[in-house]
């Protein structure tokens, strides 16, 4: 495995392009614990920021890039979708942006809607929704609401580091518990273990299941590719502790990146099964919008000798493009390499006992609690 080396940028000046002196320039590091190596403007901005060499040849390290969090006040908290590419129709995202800084994160382009960069801004300029539990209570209490399982962790991670301070997820889980509403949780953080006191009662009522995302068992690769996420060993430990607590837990090997980490898929599934996982899933890397150039910058730094071959595999799986969901995410997989990964996953799922038949989460217990309606049982 090639060692990571920081990129240097020396672009020429172009009209309509502004140089951002706060960005990393010649020979500078992007900062410890950051995944993206640049911070170019989003696609909706009138001007484009680029990093340049200012000629001073200053070898002093830049100050750490600190995380800034802005409180957001949305009008609604449940997001509905009718996408044919996902297995749920509603989700909740307590945060915009994600401090984990995973370089492959498909959610990065959403930061462009905020007038920010999908690069370093996405992992350092975050938005929190402290009113999430109150909004959820209001929406679940609506007479027109019909319950179905709500997915969490499908866009950004609900247990990213700032959750330690904000504890928005605890409020959301408490609301689900009071309403007996089903919820599934996907995370790559062992911080989920903090909420065992809330997850166990939900699991006992058949109202929740969890998945831990594990991309690699290689600590060095994980630290570079997912800089502020939990180390692989702690994710396996999270599976073990949730399983011991009686929570139905699975493992998500996502994303599988051909030529980089896909050779680890079977060993990840085997170790997860040994830790107590009962089911599994996988996805192949997707590089929409600004994610592709960000990923390629990182790839050229971390594995320059394999970067071209890896990108060729990815393009082959997407009909010659960096990303095309009709090729890489449709029900009928169209390329040999993608079919091979799917076949390997299927065989490993059976071999390691991760093909358990999952009962649907129970929606029949849903009720608006008396503390909300004010209509208490006459005999209570």
Question: What would the pLDDT profile of 322-356 be if each residue is shown by its tens digit?
Answer: 988 777 666 676 688 888 999 999 999 999 999 98
Q: Are 119 and 45 in contact (CB under 8 A)?
A: no
pLDDT-derived band at 83 (thresholds 50, 70, 90) equals confident
Distance CA 352, CA 270 (A): 6
Percent residues over pLDDT 90 in the chain: 68
Tell me how far CA of residue 177 lies from CA of 13, 56, 92, 368, in angstroms: 56, 58, 16, 11
Return the higher-pLDDT residue of 53 and 33: 33
Q: Is 131 exposed, middle or buried (0-12, 13-18, 19+ CB in 10 A)?
A: middle
Tell me how far CA of residue 308 lies from CA of 5, 159, 336, in angstroms: 16, 34, 19
Distance CA 135, CA 120 (A): 30
Q: Are 43 and 62 in contact (CB under 8 A)?
A: no
pLDDT-derived band at 50 (thresholds 50, 70, 90) equals low
Other CB atoms within a 10 A radius of the CB of residue 14 amount to 9
Q: Are 90 and 151 in contact (CB under 8 A)?
A: yes
Q: 22: which residues sit within 8 A by CB, 6+ positions away? A: none
Q: Is residue 59 scored above 80 in pLDDT?
A: no
Q: Distance between alpha carbon 139 and the CA centroid of its chain, in Å?
A: 25
Rounded to two decimals, the pTM is 0.85
Residue 62, pLDDT score: 61
Return the higher-pLDDT residue of 20 and 85: 85
Q: Which of 165, 164, 243 has its CA nearest to residue 199?
A: 243
What torsion, rounded to 10 degrees, do the Cα atoms 335, 337, 338, 341 define? Answer: 150
Two tokens at 207? 């109202």
Secondary structure string (H, E, C) spanning 281-346: EEEECCCCCCHHHHHHHHHHHHCCCCHHHHHHHHHHCCCCCCCCHHHHCCCCCCCHHHHHHHHHHH
pLDDT-derived band at 225 (thresholds 50, 70, 90) equals very high
Per-residue pLDDT reduced to its tens digit, 250-278: 999 999 999 999 999 999 999 999 999 99
């Amino acid at each position: 495995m090639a060692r990571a080396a920081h990129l240097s940028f020396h672009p020429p000046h172009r009209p309509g392009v502004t140089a951002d002196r706060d960005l990393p320039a010649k020979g500078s590091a992007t900062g410890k614990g950051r995944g993206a190596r640049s911070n170019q403007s989003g696609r909706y901005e009138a001007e484009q920021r680029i990093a340049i060499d200012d000629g001073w040849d200053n070898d002093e390290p830049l100050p750490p890039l600190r995380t800034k969090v802005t409180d957001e006040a949305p009008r609604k908290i449940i997001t509905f979708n009718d996408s044919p590419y996902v297995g749920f129709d509603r989700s909740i995202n307590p945060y915009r942006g994600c401090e984990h800084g995973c370089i492959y994160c498909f959610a990065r382009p959403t930061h462009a809607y905020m007038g920010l960069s999908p690069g370093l801004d996405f992992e350092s300029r975050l938005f929190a929704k402290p009113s999430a539990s109150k909004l959820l209570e209001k929406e679940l209490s609506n007479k027109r609401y019909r319950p179905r399982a709500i997915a969490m962790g499908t866009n950004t991670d609900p247990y990213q580091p700032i959750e330690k301070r904000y504890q928005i997820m605890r409020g959301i889980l408490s609301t689900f518990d009071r309403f007996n509403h089903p919820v599934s949780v996907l995370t790559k953080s062992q911080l989920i273990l903090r909420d065992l006191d809330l997850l166990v009662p939900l699991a006992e009522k058949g109202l929740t299941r969890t998945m831990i995302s594990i991309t690699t068992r290689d600590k060095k690769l994980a630290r570079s590719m997912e800089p502020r996420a939990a180390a692989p060993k702690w994710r396996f430990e999270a599976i073990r502790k949730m399983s011991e607590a009686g929570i139905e837990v699975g493992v998500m090997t996502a994303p599988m990146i051909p030529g980089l980490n896909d050779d680890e898929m079977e060993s990840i599934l085997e170790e997860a099964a040994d830790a107590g996982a009962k089911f599994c899933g996988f996805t192949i890397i997707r590089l929409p919008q600004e994610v592709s150039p960000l990923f390629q910058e990182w790839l050229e730094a971390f594995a320059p000798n394999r970067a071209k071959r890896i990108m060729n595999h990815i393009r082959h799986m997407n009909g010659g493009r960096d990303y095309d969901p009709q090729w890489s995410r449709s029900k009928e997989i169209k390329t040999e390499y993608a079919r091979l990964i799917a076949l390997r996953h299927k065989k490993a799922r059976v071999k390691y006992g991760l093909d358990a038949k999952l009962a649907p989460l129970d929606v029949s217990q849903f009720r608006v609690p008396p503390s909300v309606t004010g209509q208490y049982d006459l005999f209570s």
